[in-house]
Structure 1
């Protein structure tokens, strides 16, 4: 019998934006960066990875953020200036299963 893999769940926050929203990134980035740092200081260890995709395409995610829990991902998105200022057209949280091999 083969052992089943052990999984660690992570929450992946995907941001979807269009060219107009991405054009505003330089304007809003300082607020987003400050928000990210504040989130990390108040909830240490919950935001694991964050960043944009190098070649964004309309209709596909433009950025990805990895969190320890869905709740942390949703809270982050709801307060992120990229979202509140309208740069992100929509966002979604997906559960990512990491193998523990």
Structure 2
């Protein structure tokens, strides 16, 4: 079981994100470095479609979001955390 965080971008995300990006990136690096954050990325149109991240545990996802500068400073308008059953396709 993995946990997917989906972010919904606030208005003008491209203008708002750069100010908070260094602190957001530091948090990403911290969670990735300890193995809690597995993947993260934006969709083709971040303003319309937002972004997502995959975490190893619900607790890590909740903790990340609770202190994320993008959430705390309104770069994202909202988020969801959902359980995801990863299925590995045999080679």
The TM-score with structure 1 as length reference comes to 0.77
Whether the 8 Å contact between 1:21 and 1:86 is mirrored in structure 2 is no
For residue 51 of structure 2, give the secondary structure of its aligned residue in structure 1: strand
Deviations 1:9-47 (A, max 9, x none): 110001001332342111211111112222334xx1110
Aligned structure 1 segments of 4 or more residues deviating by more than 6 angstroms: none
Q: Which runs of 5+ in 1 are unaligned?
A: 1-8
Larger Rg: 1
The TM-score with structure 2 as length reference comes to 0.84
Counterpart-to-counterpart distance in 2, 1:40 and 1:82? 17
Q: Which runs of 5+ in 2 are unaligned?
A: none
| Residue pairs, 1:1-101, within 5 angstroms | 9-41=1-33, 44-58=34-48, 60=49, 62-101=50-89
Q: Which has the higher helix share?
A: 2
Question: Cα RMSD (Å) of the superposition?
Answer: 1.6
Query: Number of residue pairs matched?
Result: 89
